[in-house]
Structure 1
């Protein structure tokens, strides 16, 4: 995990800039001995801003940024000249990023659109210069406002992968193999559990130059919602998928039971996941003949569209694409 370039969690201290102080100044020109106050306002402190960027898919670039500091605003000057605003700090983040208060866990904002900008930590306001305080009874005010202090808070950024279809299954169910065959993605593939340690995304080409995005989510095991295996760390990525493709290998002792366990773990984590469209792909079907497939079809879970596939033999993959596309555009 230490060498992975997929980072979906970062924590840092965000501090906005202090507002500049207002100026105490009086106009002094030749032949104008009593020109009156002309102190300008202080500049606003810099904001810390989040901006959505669809070209990013990880928070890796923020991993070692432990302190994000915006510039202070400049003080006002004579001649009613306002001070310069502090320079804002703009943090580019992938779509699907959620910002939370690290102490309370409260969600501050969610970035879902390209170019979306949200002020995460606002800068302090600049103080008013003495020109703002002149009155008929006080024509020479010798005071101005100080600038407001900037804000400081610890922020947590969490990334939830955005994809059309999420692959859900136990470790070694063939999710990575399917992704590598159907897209240009090159996830690590092995014949041992937990080969996939981070989500992988792949774009699947379809007819007439159409496409959809598939996310390979690290394997779920029974008890994942309670912290077993890789725990719930990657379950949140499933929330951002339009539909879920459950994958169970054909050599499973009980395909229906495995499907129900997977569904149960998702339900424990977030009951709203039940509202998503679901499909079942029985993998490694190249080990079966047509008669056995017909017989096993009768034992599959009811109420969910199912298909037997083989990524290695490319068996039924085109039909799978058709079913997925039809479901996505239903």
Structure 2
């Protein structure tokens, strides 16, 4: 399934039905009073967060959503039927912005969360509502109100406990495939991962957490180079960051610092998140390798996703920080 994390749609709530102008006419009541019914309310447009969805792909094919209008009122004080509402399902983690103003309308983060996006027009009142002491037979009824209409932009930010951050070919995809049931494409060349991958990592018998494999960052990503801004935003919602550096890179410490610099340039608050450093591919450690000294107090784990070296300790450390972030 193609991963799409932004989309723009047009929504229109239903117009309200018109009120009715009618007068009671019966065999022995030739000049009865007004009996026009009220029009029905127009249908609303709702948004609902759905944990079963993971992409905004559907909105690439359907861009217009319109609720039904309310039915007009009828004689004998028969009210018109309310227009049918429209419910639009979006993935958890979807931001909703008004295109016209650029303002943030909603942030849908919880499964089942539902918000009113566009309100249907009110139903017009029938002519009985306009009788007065001097006007007993009004020939006027209220028209239905217009339904709200707007264009909105969706932006999806993945909901994950742990975000794997690293340059291309740092071993992120291999790690998530070993720790979880996710099966991302893995190969020994840069940019194998072109879309974020989510995996459920089991911890103990009954615990688990969600890990996100973010496509590889490159220098200048904060300014949009490479995959750049397209995927950096997915890191913002993660509770814990795992910064991965391959041990066989030319200068692991310089690469680690460069990654932190890219995160800081994109959003300085990312460096306030709990994080750990992970030195990967320890099964192919080069002869000239020297231990990496971070100097910033960040815990460092040396692992091999191939042999399993250090994975239990890494899993424990991630879980500890996830639990701490929830309190």
**Where in structure 2 are the equivalents of 1:1-330 lying within 5 Å?**
4-288=1-285, 296-297=291-292, 299-330=293-324
Q: CA deviation at 1:174?
A: 0.5
Give the Cα–Cα distance (whole angstroms) in 1 for the partners of residues 295 and 81 of structure 2: 66
User: Please, what TM-score do these two structures have when normalized by structure 1?
Assistant: 0.94
Greater CA drift, 12-21 or 31-40: 31-40
CA RMSD of the aligned region, Å? 1.7
Q: CA deviation at 1:160?
A: 0.7
User: Please, what TM-score do these two structures have when normalized by structure 2?
Assistant: 0.94
Is the CA contact 1:17–1:47 (under 8 Å) kept in the aligned structure 2? Answer: yes
Is the CA contact 2:222–2:229 (under 8 Å) kept in the aligned structure 1? Answer: yes
Output one character per residue of 1:263-290: Cα deviation in whole Å (capped at 9) or x when no partner.
221222222212211111010111349x
Matched residues, number: 324
Residues 249 and 301 of structure 1, relative CA distance in 2, 3 Å threshold: farther
Greater CA drift, 248-257 or 205-214: 248-257
Q: 1:320 is paired with a residue of what secondary structure?
A: helix
Give the Cα–Cα distance (whole angstroms) in 2 for the partners of residues 132 and 258 of structure 1: 74
Output one character per residue of 1:19-40: Cα deviation in whole Å (capped at 9) or x when no partner.
1111111112232233211111
Structure 1 segments unaligned to the other structure (5+ residues): none
Give the Cα–Cα distance (whole angstroms) in 2 for the partners of residues 326 and 200 of structure 1: 22
Q: CA deviation at 1:108?
A: 1.3
Give the Cα–Cα distance (whole angstroms) in 1 for the partners of residues 7 and 269 of structure 2: 26
Output one character per residue of 1:120-147: Cα deviation in whole Å (capped at 9) or x when no partner.
1211111111111112221111101111
Q: CA deviation at 1:292?
A: 8.4
Is the CA contact 2:248–2:285 (under 8 Å) kept in the aligned structure 1? Answer: no
